[in-house]
Amino acid sequence: MRILGIDPGYGITGFGLIEAERNQFRLLRCGAITTPAGMDFSARLEIIYNDMTELLQVAKPDQVAIEELFFGQNVTTGIGVAQSRGVILLAIRQAGLEVSQYKPMQVKQAVVGYGNATKHQVMDMTKRILGLPQMPKPDDAADAIAIALCHARSATSLLSKAANRLR
């Protein structure tokens, strides 16, 4: 199964495409969609939408996972990220794909086994799970890979629970 993880943002949207099969994981591709800071915001959203549409066509994921929006102290930034997330969700929907959404704590729990893990712990465990010599850059791409791993582990867990109920 090919899983595309997305860490939404309007300056940098990270993505990570993994292949997951029987609890074995392999990184296929990762990177970021970036927009210039001084550009009109609606033009930035258009770039994100167009690039995400192209990425979905090229990557051909079976499933997509995205981080849920977390409003920290800066609500203004959160609103911009929410708008970016909206055009990303639209692109996914138009590609005919369903999307699973995960809170940051769920990603930490699935990857590290501890919901209050640090960013460093998540990155280190992601690197180990995928057998990478170093974590990909930018950090947004690395975060997106962790989101894809979270989905792979969560989806596997949900599938096995459903199969056990049928027995």
Q: Collapse the DSSP code of 102 into the 3-class scheme (helix H, G, I; strand E, B; otherwise coil) and give the result.
A: strand
Q: What is the pLDDT of residues 16-62, one digit of tens each?
A: 999 999 889 999 999 999 999 999 999 999 999 999 999 999 999 99
Residues annotated as catalytic (active site), given as ranges: 7, 67, 140
Number of domains in the chain: 1
**Range(s) of the domain holding residue 153:** 2-166
Q: Look at residue 69 in the predicted model and tell me its pLDDT.
A: 80
- Any idea what DSSP says for residue 120? H
Q: Which CATH number characterizes residue 11's domain?
A: 3.30.420.10
What is the pTM (predicted TM-score) of this model? Answer: 0.89
Q: Which residues of the chain have pLDDT under 50?
A: 159-167
**What's the rounded Cα separation, in Å, for the pair 82 and 101?**
13
